[in-house]
C-alpha cells in the first residue's frame, strides 16, 4: 500500500506515516466492502440507474466529509 501512494512519503512526517497508512487502508477496505456488499449483493435487484446513483451519492458524501476533515498543516518551529 505504501508503494502505491508515494504522497505519504513525500508529505507526511516520519512520526505519523503509520497513521497516514492506516487511513489509506481504511479507505481501501471501506471501498471494497461497499462494492461487495452493496453493488454485488444488495444492488442486484435494483435497476442499474438507481444503483449507479446510490453509489455516486455515497462516494460524493464520503468525499465531501474527507475534504472537510483535511486541515492545512502548520509546522511548528
| Cα-based angle 17, 61, 35 (whole degrees, multiple of 5) | 80
Mean pLDDT of 60-70: 89
pLDDT of 64:
94
* pLDDT tens per residue across span 22-61: 888 888 888 888 888 877 777 788 888 888 888 889 889 9
pLDDT of 5:
67
Helix 17-34 and helix 48-69, axial crossing angle in degrees, nearest 10: 170
pLDDT of 76:
75
The domains of the chain are located at: 6-69
pLDDT of 58:
84
Amino acid at each position: 500500500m505504501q508503494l502505491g501512494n508515494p504522497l505519504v512519503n513525500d508529505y507526511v512526517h516520519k512520526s505519523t506515516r503509520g497513521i497516514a497508512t492506516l487511513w489509506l487502508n481504511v479507505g481501501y477496505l471501506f471501498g471494497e466492502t461497499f462494492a461487495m456488499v452493496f453493488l454485488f449483493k444488495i444492488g442486484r435487484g435494483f435497476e442499474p440507474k438507481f444503483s449507479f446513483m446510490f453509489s455516486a451519492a455515497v462516494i460524493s458524501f464520503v468525499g465531501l466529509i474527507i475534504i472537510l476533515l483535511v486541515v492545512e498543516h502548520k509546522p511548528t518551529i
